[in-house]
Amino acid sequence: MKVIRAKSAGFCWGVERAIQIAREEAQGGKRRVYTDGPLIHNKQMMSALSKEDVQEVGDYQSSQDLELQESAEKESVVVVRAHGISPQRRNYLKGLGLPFRDGTCPDVGIIAGKVKSHAERGYDVVIFGDPQHPEVIGLLGYATGRGHVVQVLEDLEKLPVFEGPVAMVSQSTMFTHEFRKLSSRLAEKYSGLVVFDTICGATKERQSDLVELVKEGAEAIVVIGGKHSANTRKLAKLASSHNRPTFHVETAQDLEPSALKPYATVGVTAGASTPEFIIRSVCERLESF
């Protein structure tokens, strides 16, 4: 089997930064690092980090109160996940009395800044994204009651009538063409709409490079990444939209030889939270078929 790997696949710089911060704080296991929810959406990488005493606590949406056990042998520190958190959650974590380090992706921080500054100036802020995703939950916290989440055109029709100015941003891992469609529709209703395309560069690269796999002759697409990873699920959806059999796997063990053997050429891509060692093992197993 011939395997074509996408040019951009695996860790984005925001994920690399969050992992580096956690590892710096852990000091090779000399300190215990608590992450508020999963640092990144990849359980294999979180398992690897646990060997350095990086421990995930709380829940996926960073909504639960945390019960942190102080270690008598070593210091503990709290690290914020790459997806970011609301200002309220930040205050709560800082109030736990442990050293605090922020692993929020800078791209997400830029979106939060736009939401905050426009809400403070009287704008209603429409956020294109998944209302259950931790990034969106965090962004809503900066909108001080002026935030509204939409995923599809029907959600736009259900929005209240805004009397003042309106701004629109996107969760960093959404489809560009969908954001463009929704922002255009909203602009028809509010001519003064301020639009910020806040879909991150890594997301756009992965989506365009996936299309290149199809052009290069991939008969099927394997997408590697966590089942909870928004950008990975988007890649799988995009591959399916190009009429290619699509297989979303977390590890090489998830590959089914009988399902993939009919294809002579398979394209491989991976979400922004997928470590290199998993991508390499998947490619090697595919080549063995």
Task: Indicate the residue type of 171.
Answer: Q
Quote the crossing angle between the two packed helices 106-120 and 134-141, to the nearest 10°.
30
DSSP 112-160: HHHHHHHHHTT-EEEEES-TTSHHHHHHHHTTTT-EEEESSHHHHHTSP
Under 8 Å CB-to-CB from 2, ≥6 apart: which residues? 264, 265, 266
Which member of 135, 154, 256, 287 is catalytic? 135
Other residues' Cβ atoms within 10 Å of the Cβ of residue 203: 25
User: CA 221, CA 235: separation in Å to the nearest integer?
Assistant: 10
Which residue, 119, 93, 120, is CA-closest to 104? 93
| Dist CA 273 CA 181 (whole Å) | 27
Gap between the Cα atoms of 147 and 272, Å rounded: 26
Euclidean distance between CA atoms 191 and 171, whole angstroms? 22
56 catalytic residue (yes or no): no
Whole-angstrom distance, CA of residue 170 vs CA of residue 145: 17
Both tokens of 71, joined, read: 């270690």
Amino acid identity, position 2: K
**Residue 144 backbone class (left: φ over 0; alpha: ψ -120 to 50; beta: rest):** left
Q: Residues 29, 31, 33, CA angle at the centre, nearest 5°?
A: 95
Give catalytic residue positions: 135
